[in-house]
Structure 1
Amino acid sequence: MLSRVALRSGASKQTACTALVARGSASDVATHDQKTFARPVRGEPGKVRLGFIPEEWFQFFHSKTGVTGPYTFGVGLATYLCSKEIYVMEHEYYSGLSLLVMVYVAHVKFGPKLAAWLDKEVEATENEWNEGRNQTVKALEDAIEGEKTEQWRAQGQELLIQAKKENVLLQLEAAYRERLMYAYTEVKRRLDYQLEKSNVERRLAQKHMVDWIVSNVTKAITPDQEKQALDRCIADLASLARK
């Protein structure tokens, strides 16, 4: 029994170690896959100034010319283009100015609401796209949990089979001991019978021997001897009475 328990404990420890190693390797592989095949993240627009000039433009000039450098460069460049008539101010230019004013007014008045609505639509679209992925991930997680549950049940079945085997061994042991007890009882009963038989035979032989001796002694006594013995007994009684 102790050897079976030791073997079973060793097997369970080995199984547990194997499961831990497999689980650790699986987690390492999953972490490596997450780092190697990371999902792309939707980029956010960078910070701008004056509504359309990137912040990096001002940072580039700030390290060389200070705070006013980019503004001075922009004004000087515009003045140069206009003074040299590189940029010609024709009638379309004034139409563009009016259009720019309209765009600025629309940006100031309707820009935040439009941006909020567009952000909401983008988030709704992104959530809709991610919904299928989340459902797939959840289904796979449920499948993993179900697989772990089935593995746990399989381990329970192994323990149950081992318990049944031990139960069968105990039943065989009980049957073996019962048959040993039956054989012991039967042998003892037969030996007791032989002992009682020999005792009865010895008692019968002794009784027969005593009866035979008594009968032979009785037959050997003659009437004269019986009378003499009787007279001697009476004389003895009389002498005892005088004392």
Structure 2
Amino acid sequence: MLSRLVFVSGRALKGSGPIGAGLVHASRSLHTSSQSQAPVPALPEKGGKVRHGIIPEELFQLLYPKTGVTGPYMLGTGLLLYMLSKEIYVVNHETFAAASIITVIIYSIKKFGPSVAAFADKLNEDKVAKAQEVKDLAMTSLAQAIEDEKKEQWRVEGRSMLFDAKRNNVAMLLETNYRERLHMVTNEVKRRLDYQIALQNLHRQMEQDHMVNWVEKSVISSITPQQEKESIAKCITDLKALAKTTQAKAAV
């Protein structure tokens, strides 16, 4: 009924000039505006205290400073007697049916309420345990992922050092290869120089041998037979004199 009343009054205001149009626009903006993004407070796990199953404890606490301890009960009794005396509420067969139904409901709640509540609590605890298990598993996997990410970041930080070491190794290999080639060239040049020196020494030795042989042949060819006989005789005489000198020294 209230929605129909608002709808009819809105149509009436729409045709009643700028004021009505502004009110209709305000009502539309009120109904079509986006919901607030503010965080919603968590719902309490247990409801507030009540008396007699349906009467909130706050009502009694509100009336205690003004009416005393019996004030809420007198207020309820007075309202009930007022409704009955003014025939606002008429007692009939439906009243007894409602009282019977309420009595059965209260008895069922008192009788089976604890077991049903325990069963519901058990189901809720099982759901919470499963949700907590899923949460713990997700937290564990996320923590492991964070550790892996930190390790990868540490490896990335050490990659520059690894690249520097690889550059140094490559530079050392290039230097070693260069020095090996330089040593090989040095040995090759030395071997060729040694070959040239040996060749020159061989030429010199051959020239000396040839010169000695030529001189000997020249000297031998220049000696006459008479000179040869005289030379042999002179050698024999020298040998005899040398023998006598040796014997004299031995006798002394």
TM-score, normalised via structure 1 length = 0.56
Kept in 1, the 8 Å contact 2:48–2:57? The answer is yes
5+ residue gaps, structure 2, are 1-36
Matches within 5 A, 1:137-156: 141=142, 148=149
Q: 8 Å contact 1:61–1:70 — kept in the other structure?
A: yes
Residue-pair matches, total: 198
Shift of 1:188: 1.9
Whether the aligned pair in 1 keeps the contact of 2:60 and 2:72 (CA below 8 Å) is no
Residue number among 199, 215, 220 corresponding to 1:213 in the alignment = 215
In structure 2, what residue type is equivalent to 1:225? Q
Aligned sequence identity (%): 34
Contact 2:48–2:56 (CA under 8 A) maintained in structure 1: yes
Partner of residue 87, structure 1? 83
One-letter amino acid matched to 1:74: P
Separation (CA, whole Å) in 2 of partners of 1:177 and 1:217: 59
- Give the corresponding residue for 1:228: 230
Q: Deviations over 1:167-214 (max 9, x none)?
A: 765654454344333322321221111011011011111111222222
1:1-243 pair list within 5 angstroms: 41-50=42-51, 51-57=53-59, 64=65, 71-82=69-80, 85-88=81-84, 90-92=90-92, 93-119=95-121, 141=142, 148=149, 162=163, 172-242=174-244, 243=248
Task: State whether residues 49 and 55 of structure 1, in contact with CA within 8 Å, keep that contact through their aligned partners in structure 2.
Answer: yes
Match of 2:84, SS? Answer: coil
CA distance in 2, matches of 1:215, 1:37: 131
In structure 1, runs of 5+ residues without a counterpart are 1-35
Do 1:47 and 1:54's aligned partners in 2 also have CA atoms closer than 8 Å?
A: yes
Structure 2 CA distance for aligned equivalents of residues 229 and 88 of structure 1: 187
**Measured at CA, do residues 223 and 59 of structure 1 come closer, stay the same or move farther in structure 2, by a change above 3 Å?**
farther
TM-score normalised by structure 2 residue count: 0.54
Amino acid in structure 2 at the alignment position of 1:112? P
SS in 1 for 2:70: helix
Query: What SS does structure 2 have at the residue aligned with 1:45?
Result: coil
Q: Deviations over 1:116-160 (max 9, x none)?
A: 4445666778899x79x97xx68x959x67x949x67x959x78x
Larger Rg: 2
In 2: Cα distance, 1:225 partner to 1:180 partner: 66
Alpha carbons 1:58, 1:70 under 8 Å: kept: no
Q: CA RMSD in A?
A: 4.9
